[in-house]
Amino acid sequence: MINNSPSKLYPTSLDLTNCDKEPIHIIGKIQNHGVLIACRIDDKVVSRVSENSLFIFDKSPEKILESNINQVITEDVLTDILVQFQKKTTAYKEAVINNKNVTIIAHQSNQEYILEFEINTITLDPLAYQIRLSEIVSEINSISNLEERCDQAALLIKEYFEYDRVMIYQFDDKWNGSIIAEQREQHLESWLGLQYPASDIPQQARKLFLKQGVRIINDVSSKPENILSLQKDADTNLLDLSKSELRAVSPIHIEYLSNMNVGATLTAAIVYNDTLWGLIACHHYSPKYINYYQRLSCKFLTQILATSIQLSNTDTILEKVQKSSFIRNKLIDQINVKKNIIEGLSNYDYKINDLVDATGAVVSIDNEMVTMGNCPSKENILNLIRHIRKLTNDDLYHTTNLVNDYPGSAAYKDIASGVLCLFISKTKDDALLWFKPEIIQTVHWAGNPDKRTFVDENQRISPRKSFEKWTTQQIGTSKIWRDHEISAAVELHKNILNIIIEKYEEVKNLNDKLKIAYDELESFSYSVSHDLRAPLRGIDGFAHIIKEEYYESLDDFAKSSIQTIISSVDKMNLLIDDILEYSGLGRKPMQSRTFSMIKVIEELLVTLQPIYPKVKVEPNTELPDIYGDRSIIILLIKNLLENAMKYSSKEMAPLVEIGCKDNHTYFVKDNGIGFDMKHQGKIFGVFNRLVNQEYKGSGIGLAIAKRVVEKHKGKIWVESKIGEGSIFYFKLATNEN
């Protein structure tokens, strides 16, 4: 039974929305400039034949079907083809069939041999042909610049194959394409620079180009021929025409070409690194056939072009890598000379925006930000840095579509759709950023899109429509960040981190030295103070003996001198006590626990209240317990309480309150003399007093208090007003929940 219905898997209606799913490799039809015959590999019985068999053969398709392939081609032709198959997947052979010079192009598809027959109309002088071909190769290779090389290739291909228009079409990373070189008949309008969306050459068409290399459409307006099949199950056993020379053209593509009045095409895939770099696309405005050998030459030329493009690309990248490495070294030199990272990167001959292909750059370090070139506002940049921080834990972030990751950036997408960001610090807003503008800004549309002539009536598919689609796809998108740009930025980032680490090491060394000196000084003052106690006790003892035993026999001067000695010794003792307390704090290991504040205050008042009997002390009876080292927290409370009592003791009704507010913030409040808040920083230092001898003291009490608080990783501060009293607050980190 003969089956000639078109494939049910092939959709009946196709448009721009589903053309990327169109199964063009199982289209079930061929172009009518040749005949296709398939035979089963095992028994060589003809299994399929195109309806136009009479174009070459003298037998109808029905007659050919079910016959043996030996009845279609001679035994020796078949043998030659089968011998070729032992070495390669495609074979070709010249033959005379039905008095016609025919080229047979054969390949295997599943369990079938596919033979395609084309009439050889053009006879070529093989030697002249060969010579011209090698001339073309050397002409292409003699040019080093990529654009010029593509121009030259287009020119030579146009001369050689005589198409009306030859274009070199390059894909971008998203498979959108642009025409980068063009040669055309003078009367034709230029399409150079035109951009096309990826949907114009959908992915399955790109796959077929990769498989086949060169393909022609002989006559856009011709009717494709069905392939008749022996099998009942032809629909489920569809013939895969991926490698077919004659494969019919997708109706969408035909419509697209008809809209542009194109009559015939040749397309050759420019492939390198196994991916499609671009296409050589030739258009003719009437039907045009080029034979299999010419197509092979075109394939060969395209390979030469691909290799030379790869070489010049490698050269260009190498040049860019060398340039950015030079700039990076200069930037590092600038930083070292100026001893300042921001200035080094932004303020001299070389700037970080020279490092990559960016239109704006930012350096943000230690709350200082410098922008170069075209950048969003500093406020926007800061918000952007903080947003990126939330997006990734990595130091490196880059995008060509910022609005996607951060809709808040829509307002400045024209200048920053592409962002490359490298964080310098894990916790701060320190970062280096580069920006690329929205691509729509930089696209050059060759000619006014509104005036393009091939807008089809139903507006379904046309180059004009394509451009609109492409334009909407590009909103908010920048050019890509090339690998070498990212590497250059990452390298600079590494250099800067090294500089920061070196600087940190320097500061750390100095700090360590300072700590050692400080520790030495502290133990020195501790031992000196300690050693002073014994002689001081001697002086005090002798002074008291003289006062008690010989006082009456002394003259007035001696009497007052003895008195001075005794009170000086008192003061000295007080001072030594305080110094020992202060320096002792640094040496003691902490032993923390929870204990009662009320009890500490009661204990302290036992000694303090008799010294200042007039002062009324009112601790809040609900003071919460405190967590920390009791032996030193007692010194903190003692100093604050004693100061409050001392500096209010001369008031009419001295009052000291002790309380706690907001989650363990303790305070000691008095209604005493107070002080000018401009001294608030000074009073926590050692030996800094704002009063004279009328108030006893060493000037160390608040330094001790501060040290105790710091040992608990806490905070101490004061509010005061002259004549109105003071409130000292403290909060210990150990008490925070």
708 belongs to the binding site for ligand ADP (CB under 6 A) = no
CB of 186 or CB of 692, closer to ligand ADP = 692
CA–CA separation, 577 vs 580, rounded Å? 5
Residue 716 binding ligand ADP, by CB under 6 A: no
**Binding pattern for the stretch 603-642 against ligand ADP, x by CB under 6 A and - elsewhere:** ------------------------------------x---
- By beta-carbon proximity to ligand ADP, the closer residue of 102 and 641 is 641
Distance separating alpha carbons of residues 637 and 628, to the nearest angstrom: 13
Strands (E) across 303-461 are located at 360-365, 368-373, 396-399, 418-423, 431-436
Please tell me whether residue 649 binds ligand ADP under the rule CB under 6 A. no
Count of chain residues binding ligand ADP (CB under 6 A): 22
650 binds ligand ADP (CB under 6 A): no
Whether the CB-CB separation of 338 and 417 falls below 8 Å is answered with: no
Nearer to ligand ADP, 650 or 689 (CB): 689
Binding flag, residue 644, ligand ADP (CB under 6 A): yes
* Helix count and strand count (H, E) for the chain: 16, 25
- Helix residue ranges per DSSP H, 478-621: 483-550, 556-587, 597-611
Instruction: Select the span of 47-55, 151-159, 164-172, 685-693 touching ligand ADP (CB under 6 A).
Output: 685-693
CA–CA separation, 706 and 731 (whole Å)? 11
Among 32, 302, 698, 734, binds ligand ADP (CB under 6 A): 698
Minimum Å gap between C-beta 620 and ligand ADP is 18
Closest C-alpha to 190, from 172, 171, 166, 170: 166
Nearer to ligand ADP, 298 or 683 (CB): 683
Residue appearing with tokens 């856009």: 220
Among 61, 619, 628, 701, contact with ligand ADP (rule: CB under 6 A): 701
- Which one, 437 or 674, has the nearer CB to ligand ADP? 674
Tokens of 485: 């740009």
Nearer to ligand ADP, 411 or 611 (CB): 611
Strands across the sheet containing 225-229: 29-30, 225-229, 46-50, 34-40, 112-119, 100-109, 90-97
In this chain, which stretch among 460-468, 469-477, 557-565, 672-680 interacts with ligand ADP, using CB under 6 A? 672-680
Is 699 a binding residue for ligand ADP by CB under 6 A? The answer is: yes
Assess contact for 424 and 493: CB atoms under 8 A: yes
3 state DSSP class of 1: coil
Interface pick for ligand ADP out of 675, 711, 716, 732 (rule CB under 6 A) = 675
- The nearest distance, CB 644 to ligand ADP, in angstroms, is 5
One of 577, 689, 710, 717 touching ligand ADP (CB under 6 A): 689
- Residue with smaller CB distance to ligand ADP, 193 or 659: 659
Which of 674, 708, 716, 729 lies at the binding interface for ligand ADP (CB under 6 A)? Answer: 674
Judge contact between 268 and 168, C-beta under 8 A.
no
What residues contact residue 729 under an 8 Å CB cut-off, 6+ apart? Answer: 665, 666, 667, 716, 717, 718, 719
Label residue 237 exposed, middle or buried (CB < 10 Å: 0-12, 13-18, 19+).
middle
Taking the least distance from each CB to ligand ADP, the nearer of 31 and 649 is 649
Quote the least distance from Cβ 615 to ligand ADP, whole Å: 11
The residues, ordered by sequence, that sit 6+ positions from 634 with a Cβ below 8 Å of its Cβ are: 600, 603, 604
Asked whether the beta carbons of 10 and 27 are under 8 A apart, the reply is yes
**By CB under 6 A, what part of segment 407-446 binds ligand ADP?**
none
In whole angstroms, what is the distance from residue 111 CA to residue 40 CA?
Answer: 6
Should residue 643 be labelled a site residue for ligand ADP when binding is judged by CB under 6 A?
yes
Nearest to 195 by CA among 166, 209, 216, 174: 174
467 binds ligand ADP (CB under 6 A): no
| The one segment of 1-9, 285-293, 507-515, 665-673 that binds ligand ADP by CB under 6 A | 665-673
Among 179, 670, 712, 731, binds ligand ADP (CB under 6 A): 670
Q: CB within 8 A of 622, min separation 6: which ones?
A: none
Closer to ligand ADP by Cβ: residue 537 or 721: 721
Buried b (16+ CB within 10 A) or exposed e, 141-154: eebeebeebbbbbb
80 vs 642, which CB is nearer to ligand ADP?
642
Which of 673, 708, 716, 732 is the binder for ligand ADP (CB under 6 A)? 673
Assign 66 to helix, strand or coil.
Answer: coil
Q: Which stretch binds ligand ADP (CB under 6 A): 276-284, 383-391, 614-622, 684-692?
A: 684-692
Distances (CA, A) of 433 to 111, 425, 439: 58, 13, 18
According to CB under 6 A, which one of 672, 712, 732, 735 is a site residue for ligand ADP? 672
**Quick one: DSSP state of residue 307?**
H
Instruction: Fill in the per-residue mask, 718 to 737: x = in contact with ligand ADP (CB under 6 A), - = not in contact.
Output: --------x-----------
- Candidate residues 683, 708, 709, 732; the one interacting with ligand ADP per rule CB under 6 A: 683
Is the distance from CB of 642 to CB of 672 less than 8 angstroms? no
C-beta closer to ligand ADP: residue 280 or 615: 615
**Smallest distance from the beta carbon of 685 to ligand ADP, in angstroms?**
8
Task: Using the minimum distance from each CB to ligand ADP, give the nearer residue, 126 or 681.
Answer: 681
Least distance to ligand ADP from the beta carbon of 693, Å?
10
Distance CA 541, CA 543 (A): 5
Structure tokens at 257: 């070409």
Q: Is 202 in the site for ligand ADP (CB under 6 A)?
A: no
- Beta-sheet strands, E only, within 608-692: 616-619, 626-629, 655-661, 665-670
Rank residues 490 and 686 by Cβ distance to ligand ADP and give the closer one: 686
Chain residues in the site for ligand ADP (CB under 6 A): 639, 643-644, 647, 670, 672-675, 683, 688-691, 697-703, 726
